[in-house]
Amino acid sequence: MNIENLRTISAHNLRTFRRHYVSEISGSLGDLGTFLPLAITLAINGTVSLSSTLIFSGIFNILTGLLFGIPLPVQPMKAIAAVAIARSFSPGTIAAAGFFVAICVFIFSVTGLLRWFANAIPIPVVKGIQVGAGLSLIIASGGNILSSLKWVNPSWADNLIWAIAAFVFLISTNVYRNVPYALLVFILGLIFAIARSAVSASLPSFEFWHPWLVIPRPHDWVVGGLDAGIGQLPLTTLNSVVAVVYLASDLLPNVPTPTVTAVGLSVAGMNLIGCWFGAMPVCHGSGGLAAQYRFGARSGASVVFLGALKLIIGIFFGESLVGLLKLFPAAFLGIMVIAAGLELASVGESLNTSGARDSGKHGSEIIGEGSQEIGPVFSDDERKKRWTVIMVTVGFLVGFKNDAIGFVAGILCHWAYQLPYIVDGVRERWSQGRIRV
């Protein structure tokens, strides 16, 4: 990346923030529904340092916002976090898992494997991964975050009534898109958390960051790499690199999209640095990008703001925030996660339209503001096949709760449809004498 590109990105960030600073700030908070629950749980278990997680994720937010110019999220590696919570990983074990994924992604990036991989994956499979990830977020919200809520329990500030109110408010923002939903909900949730903390005398206090080094032992490498890292690798490659690049291009067509190599190196660099200090393993997820876009973010300025906020809070309050953040209403977090899932799942709508990346249609072939197509983009048979591929990908991803299984199922379905063309091509070459036994 040259100086001129950096100047262009900086100008775009500054211009967008000046014109739409409320939307940018609101959008920057969109991914907290994913970030907070996992970070808090891991910090309570003593698996990661909350202060280091806030500081390093804040630094990475700032750098990605300045370098890429889009609201690229910095969010937990979910597969690693899930295994770490279930098995009460030590700091060394979760660090080893983060290092394992980072080293693999770094090798894939510098060798060009990521770029080849992104070009080789059929668009219906990519869309299927995105839709499946969105539905998984919705299911996770209903099954984990919101499932414990009752009509008036567990507290006056966190119950089903507030969840329904937050959802109704969310639906209304589909009409009034300029309303800073995430910002307003976050402020209200923070007020509720502070009020409950004051009652339980668990308010945060000034507690300067004291960095400490995490050095994984040989046993940590075996457990972290094999039990958590391998499961995270396809999720990071597919959803945090390939899918997020495609999604950025779909959502922000007027902003230069970072390459898969650049995003891959970013994921590798974040974990090769932060995990040494007890920070949570992180990546760039398409769900986080969808959430931040849904709530108003349109430039890197949004995540620069979020990063600065994390950095200040992490340095001056650190671990004392755990008690406060534990009391942030799950009702609000759950609905924010649902919003992210809905936004991510909605990208499947463009599968068979002129906006599809592999449609061969461009803006010059579309008439007027209504995006009316000149002739069919795909035949009825092609549309049906592409829709089947995306649904197979989504079904297996959601059903088995595994991106890799969904990916393999979608690829096999796609190749099955391509088999007759391959056979016809072989026959044609045979008849022309271009294939000899």
C-alpha neighbours within 13 Å on the C-beta side of residue 190: 11
Q: Is residue 391 part of a domain?
A: no
Express each pLDDT in 156-198 by its tens digit. Answer: 999 999 999 999 999 998 887 778 888 889 899 999 999 988 8
The 8-class DSSP code of residue 259 comes to: P
Has residue 122 got a pLDDT over 80?
yes
Exposed (0-12), middle (13-18) or buried (19+): which is 428, by Cβ within 10 Å? exposed
Mean pLDDT comparison of 199-213, 224-238, 248-262, highest-scoring range = 248-262
CA distance 202 to 194: 9
CA distance 179 to 187: 14
Q: Is residue 77 part of a domain?
A: yes
Instruction: Give the residue from 390, 130, 383 showing the smallest Cα distance to 251.
Output: 130
Q: Looking at residue 344, what is its pLDDT?
A: 75
**What's the rounded mean pLDDT across residues 391-410?**
87
Q: Is residue 402 part of a domain?
A: no
Q: Looking at residue 360, what is its pLDDT?
A: 57
Q: Is residue 436 part of a domain?
A: no
Q: Looking at residue 260, what is its pLDDT?
A: 93
Q: Looking at residue 312, what is its pLDDT?
A: 94
Q: Is residue 410 part of a domain?
A: no
What is the three-state SS of 380-427?
A: HHHHHHHHHHHHHHHHHHHHHCCHHHHHHHHHHHHHHHHHHHHHHHHH
CA distance 2 to 62: 18
Q: Which residue do the tokens 């660099």 mark?
A: 269
Has residue 49 got a pLDDT over 70?
yes
CA distance 169 to 174: 9
- Is 106 in contact with 265 (CB distance < 8 Å)? yes
Q: Looking at residue 321, what is its pLDDT?
A: 82
Q: Is residue 411 part of a domain?
A: no
CA distance 29 to 75: 12
Q: Looking at residue 285, what is its pLDDT?
A: 84
Has residue 42 got a pLDDT over 80?
yes
Neighbours of 159 (CB within 10 A): 18
Q: Which residue has the higher pLDDT, 425 or 255?
A: 255
Q: Which residue has the higher pLDDT, 340 or 257?
A: 257
Q: Looking at residue 212, what is its pLDDT?
A: 87
Neighbours of 359 (CB within 10 A): 17
Q: What value does the CA radius of gyration of the chain take, rounded to a whole number of Å?
A: 23
Has residue 365 got a pLDDT over 50?
no
Domain of 311 in residue numbering reads as 3-348
C-alpha dihedral sign at 405, 410, 413, 419: negative
Residue 369, SS3?
A: coil
**What's the rounded mean pLDDT across residues 63-81?**
91
Confidence of residue 435 (pLDDT cuts 50, 70, 90): low
Q: Is residue 69 part of a domain?
A: yes
- Residues 6+ positions from 192 with CB-CB distance below 8 Å: 157, 158, 327, 328, 329
CA distance 69 to 304: 10
Structural domain count, the chain: 1
Q: Is residue 52 part of a domain?
A: yes
**What's the rounded mean pLDDT across residues 303-314?**
94
